[in-house]
Amino acid sequence: MSALEGKTLIVTAGPTIEPIDPVRFLSNHSTGKMGYAIAGALAARGARVVLVSGRTALDTPAGVERVDVLSAEEMYRAVMERFEASDGAVMCAAVADYTPVEVSPVKMKKSDDDLVIRLKRTKDIAAEAGRRKGDRMLMGFALETDHEQENALGKLRRKNLDFIVLNSLRDPGAGFAGDTNKITIIDRQGEITDCPLESKRAAAERIADRIEAWFAARGC
Ligand code: C5P
């Protein structure tokens, strides 16, 4: 029997959308493919998976409960409402770091002047989950362009994660949009596992293996 049987796991995936006015927003290139693949892999091993998803064009994986959100604030609330009752979370979403201070209720008119939009920081969902972690499993992702392992390990420690999965934008075939990824898994002990370039589905199975082993090692 899988150690994931009966576990409740939250997976965040996709981009967030930060509104500027009723027709415009700030966002990023995340497609949600990696998070959806992880949600599917965990559900196939018997976990109850709640996928908190930003806007994507993907079908919900079999056996997964999906909660749709748009903004970082909505994603924060959707995760925090469910975190206490969960056994852990995989934070795969590309959450906006900044959001407009003011959202115009009407479509903003153009003028000949430059436009300045003031942004404020969003809440860090993974870091807040880290503060409330208790004995739950927590995995985060890091997309880095330089000093990759050092930055990723710093994030693991700051956010109190059990694992951080590193994608380097330097690796061809890794990161956003494509169907392949080249990941490095770093755990709390600082142990580093470099994985080959492979399909996101294969990378998701590898990630599910590590999560399953984490629960198995705790005998829970
Ligand atoms: O600090 P950075 O954004 O690089 O950290 C990435 C990790 O933190 C990812 O797991 C991402 O899902 C999570 N994160 C989050 N909430 C934020 C920013 C990042 O959950 N506001």
- Of all residues in the chain, the percent with pLDDT exceeding 70 is 97
Q: What average pLDDT does range 195-204 have in this prediction?
A: 94
> Of all protein residues, whose CA lies closest to atom 13 belonging to ligand 1?
126
HEC-encoded secondary structure of 53-95: ECCCCCCCCCCEEEEECCCHHHHHHHHHHHHCCCCEEEECCEC
Atom of ligand 1 at shortest range from CA of 122: 21
Task: Report the pLDDT value the prediction gives residue 84, as an integer from 0 to 100.
Answer: 98
Is the shortest distance between the CB of 155 and ligand 1 below 6 Å?
yes
Q: State pLDDT tens for residues 20-56.
A: 999 999 999 999 999 999 999 999 999 999 999 999 9
Task: Report the pLDDT value the prediction gives residue 24, as an integer from 0 to 100.
Answer: 97
Is the shortest distance between the CB of 161 and ligand 1 below 6 Å?
no
Radius of gyration of the chain (CA): 18
Is the shortest distance between the CB of 124 and ligand 1 below 6 Å?
yes
In this structure, what token pair is assigned to residue 40? 């599917």
> Of all protein residues, whose CA lies closest to atom 8 belonging to ligand 1?
126
* pLDDT tier, 177 (very low <50, low <70, confident <90, very high otherwise): low
State the chain's mean pLDDT as an integer.
95
- Candidate from 65-79, 166-180, 184-198 with smallest mean pLDDT: 166-180
Q: State pLDDT tens for residues 85-105.
A: 999 999 999 999 999 999 999
